[in-house]
Amino acid sequence: MRRGVTISTGAIALGGRLVATHTGGSDGDGVRRAIAVVLCMVLAFGAIGGQLVRLALKGGEHGQSNMTTPIASGVARPDVVDRKGRLLASDVEALSLYADPMIVIDRDEVSEKLARIFPDLDTARLRQALSDRSRRFVWVRRGLSPDTAQRVHNLGLPGLAFRPELRRAYPSGRLAGHVLGGVNIDNRSVAGIERYLDEKELVDSVVVAAPSERRPVALSLDVGVQHALEDELAKAMTTYDAPAAAGLVLDVTTGEIVASASLPGVDPATPDGAPARETVERVSAGRCELGSIFKLRTLAEAIDAGRVGPQTIIDVTQPLNIGRYEIKDLHPSGRPLTVGEVFLKSSNVGAGILALGAGAERQRDFLSRLGLLEQMRAETGALAAPLVPERWQEIETVTISYGHGLAVPPLQFAAAAAAMVNGGNFIQPTFLKRRPGEEIERRRVISAETSARLNELMRRNVAEAGGTGRRADAAGYRVGGKTGTAEIAHKGRYEGNSVISSFLAAFPMEAPQYLSLVILFEPSRTAASGGEITAGQTAAPVTARLVERIAPQLGVLPILAASGER
């Protein structure tokens, strides 16, 4: 045989050597081997599965099930709009900056460079947080503007990242700040209407920064009227050198609060946990003695009870002596006055005589019917509780008749006053817009006839030369009202030069629809007030300017247009 390579069935010759190969045989052997492998795998997995079942059953009732679920990371709030649909509050998406200490390379570099962007950053605290490598998440700054977020991004520092969050935005800035209230860093309410949304479960927990799909919440406020009120109060604080002011506008036919302001105001975008004394909300959270505007209530009770009429004569020529106290008028008339004149000339003596004629029990009962003795609630929260005398004797009966000795929130008194000018029905005030056709709960407190008589006296007090509210006569509009000048008690004693000056007004007086209340706290004797601090010289002219601005916005026609004259 020749040396070489010879290929034949069943053998291969390599280098002269024969190597046997298997080129035939049955395919059944391979199939059997595959089946054996599969059976082994099935048995193995079966054993593992059986062991898992055995362990699960062994745990019995103590078995536990662990599962991963998304954790809500924010709160989505509905939009808040005014009565005409204008936006007051809304959620927007903003980036928040956080750090991962495990990835941060140089904590000192991170702290130093971030401090250049955030001068108020607590760098020592940040360094300490970044030193803990077991932590994977540390908030640095939340709610960044796009420009600030870009500056941080440009630093290119490892370990810093952004997370989108919902932040509350208030397009009108500080307007109606006290009413809106504001939210905290987690988009949860702090006070005001925002707290109402939380209480009524109108907010939703969300995992991602997704805006609320709920319908906007419509308030009774009118942005235009609110702006006019705040603007006039701010000007009055400057004109009369008053440290604070407050006011509201109320629809007396529906109870809707069209505007409410307390100055100095607050920014709802940056609410304080505990507001400073000067920025406290005075319309509903504060309470004060309001002075002679309470005489409207005194006359209402006396006239409605039928004890007197507007022409009944009251002898006010002498001071009223109650024990060791002497009650006298600021400007004594020197002659008897009719009940109407008691109102027009704001006689404390006359009001005291009317109150004594009713007695303490009837006075308390009437105040209770008007809702002035119990704590009231509104959508913005509970109002301050009225400060009621511990003892209710003759002197308290007399002083309350002209607005001293009983301190109430201005909103609570405005609601009572609305009942006295709207035909005699008390309506719970609301910050929410009434729905078309909504049934309004009314409670009669005085007769329609008594209300009409009071309206006539209020108009005379502004329109007639001798009225204390003469300076509230707005050009083109029939305004009626009552002045109130209440001395402020300091350390248990009233100070004659420290007063709360207020003016209660209603318009148009032929069929009152709106009520306004303007309050100036501790106005000074300025040239604009003629050296006086009384309401007739301070709060009354503010009211005139306010009505001239808001009446057209509220659809109240001027006198000439309403009568068809040219």
Residues catalogued as catalytic: 292
d(CA 517, CA 536): 13
Q: Whose structure tokens read 């000439």?
A: 560
d(CA 379, CA 195): 9
Sheet holding 7-8, edge to edge: 7-8, 11-14, 17-20
Closest residue by Cα to residue 400 from 265, 293, 275, 319: 293
**312 contacts 339 by C-beta, under 8 angstroms:** yes
Give the Cα separation of 97 and 99 in Å (integer).
7
- Kindly report the backbone phi and psi dihedral angles of residue 144, in degrees, each rounded to the nearest multiple of 5, phi listed first: -80, 150
Cα(283)–Cα(292) distance, rounded to whole angstroms?
Answer: 18
Helix (H) or strand (E) holding 194: helix 192-199
C-alpha distances (whole Å) from 409 to each of 45, 377, 382, 484 are: 77, 11, 11, 15
As a whole number of angstroms, the distance between CA 111 and CA 140 comes to 10
Between CA 386 and CA 345 the distance in angstroms is: 28
Alpha-carbon separation of residue 110 from 24, 99, 132, 155, 159 (angstroms): 74, 10, 14, 9, 9
